[in-house]
């Protein structure tokens, strides 16, 4: 998605154009830092002694692991790097690790950008709304995510791609992508069983399950409680948060600027947020506060909390 979708004569277009310059160096530096932290947390898992230390290390590792969603998201927009090949390679690797194939996610996500907060056309609003605390807790657990990912991967691998947002010309590629994902997963499982090694479980599967709730909390804040309007300054939320989380999410807490100008790379979003500040309608302080607000609106109300499946 290359085009800018927000139009406002008060915004400095030349400044935004300058911010839109993509950089392999900045993308590689950010990716190297993320992978370095992932290697460090993985080392903590391997060195952990005792159940409590292992669970704590696996949780920390899992949070860093599931936030590979951030470079996946940037790469499918092809804004993480100047190089198309680098973007596609990172999307392929991160998508594999998160059970979310990059090509399919690109089609899903671009439809979300085109029809943000449209109840009839935004695929992130296709699932049932959260209408009570049990539903909220189930969603945050990540279990619906894993169920959807497994079911969709197997369906696509079987040759059935019926999502309207996947153009017919791309369906063959989505099928092939799902098949190589499933093939590699099966090969890794077989190798793990043959070697009688717990590494696959300890460094990937269990941490991903433990970390997924933190990604769900993060993603819920992007649009939940925002007006269901086509105005990008109103239908997306910018959330002020700590520097470590801003780094881990590749600045995607500046979600309003991203939706208004999806061609901007991650490193330009703080400056774009400053330019757009007078127009941004929904700005919150902290993800805890956002989710507390979501929960406070649940009892007895059917006000929709967005339940992103991806």
Tell me the per-residue pLDDT of 161-193, one tens digit each, with 9 for 90 and over. 999 999 999 999 999 999 999 999 999 999 999
pTM for the whole structure: 0.93
pLDDT in tens, 46-83: 999 999 999 999 999 999 999 999 999 999 999 999 99
CA dist 37 and 61 (Å) reads 9
**Could you say which DSSP state residue 263 is in?**
T
Q: Cα 71 from chain centroid? A: 8
The residues pairing with 240 across neighbouring beta strands, listed in sequence order, are 285
Whether pLDDT at 84 is above 70: yes
Q: Which helix (H) or strand (E) holds 44?
A: helix 24-47
Strand ranges for the chain from DSSP E: 238-240, 283-285
| Residue 223 contacts residue 235 (beta carbons within 8 Å) | yes
Quick one: pLDDT band at residue 1, thresholds 50, 70, 90? low
CA dist 208 and 215 (Å) reads 10
Six-digit token string for 6: 């927000």
CA dist 110 and 122 (Å) reads 10
Nearest to 247 by CA among 224, 273, 270, 219: 270
Whether pLDDT at 3 is above 70: no
**Average pLDDT of the chain, as a whole number:** 92
Residues 6+ apart with CB under 8 A from 157: 175, 178, 179, 181, 182
pLDDT in tens, 93-151: 999 999 999 999 999 999 999 999 999 999 998 878 888 899 999 999 999 999 999 99
Phi-psi region of 23 (alpha: psi -120 to 50; beta: other; left: phi over 0): beta
Nearest to 174 by CA among 113, 107, 122: 107
| Interaxial angle between packed helices 133-141 and 143-157, expressed in degrees from 0 to 180 and rounded to the nearest 10 | 60
């Amino acid at each position: 998605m290359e085009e800018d979708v927000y139009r406002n004569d008060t915004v400095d277009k030349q400044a935004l154009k300058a911010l839109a310059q993509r950089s392999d160096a900045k993308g590689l530096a950010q990716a190297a830092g993320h992978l370095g932290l992932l290697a460090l947390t993985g080392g903590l898992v391997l060195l952990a002694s005792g159940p409590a230390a292992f669970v704590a290390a696996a949780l920390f590792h899992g949070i860093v692991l599931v936030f590979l969603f951030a470079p996946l998201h940037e790469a499918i927009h092809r804004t993480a790097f100047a190089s198309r090949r680098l973007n596609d390679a990172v999307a392929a690797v991160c998508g594999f690790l998160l059970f979310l194939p990059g090509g399919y996610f690109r089609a899903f996500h671009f439809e979300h950008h085109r029809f943000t907060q449209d109840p009839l056309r935004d695929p992130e609003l296709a699932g049932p709304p959260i209408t009570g605390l049990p539903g909220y807790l189930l969603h945050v657990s990540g279990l619906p995510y894993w169920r959807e990912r497994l079911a969709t991967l197997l369906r696509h691998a079987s040759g059935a791609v019926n999502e309207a947002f996947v153009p017919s010309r791309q369906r063959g590629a989505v099928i092939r992508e799902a098949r190589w994902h499933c093939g590699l997963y099966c090969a890794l499982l077989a190798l793990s069983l043959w070697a009688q090694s717990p590494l696959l479980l300890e460094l990937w599967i269990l941490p991903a399950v433990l970390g997924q709730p933190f990604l769900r909390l993060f993603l819920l804040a992007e649009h939940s409680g925002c007006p269901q309007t086509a105005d990008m300054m109103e239908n997306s939320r910018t959330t002020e948060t700590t520097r470590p989380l801003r780094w881990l999410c590749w600045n995607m807490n500046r979600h309003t600027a991203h939706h208004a100008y999806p061609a901007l790379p991650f490193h330009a979003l703080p400056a774009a947020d400053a330019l757009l500040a007078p127009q941004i309608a929904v700005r919150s302080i902290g993800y805890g506060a956002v989710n507390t607000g979501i929960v406070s609106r649940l009892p007895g109300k059917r006000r929709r909390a967005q339940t992103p499946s991806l």
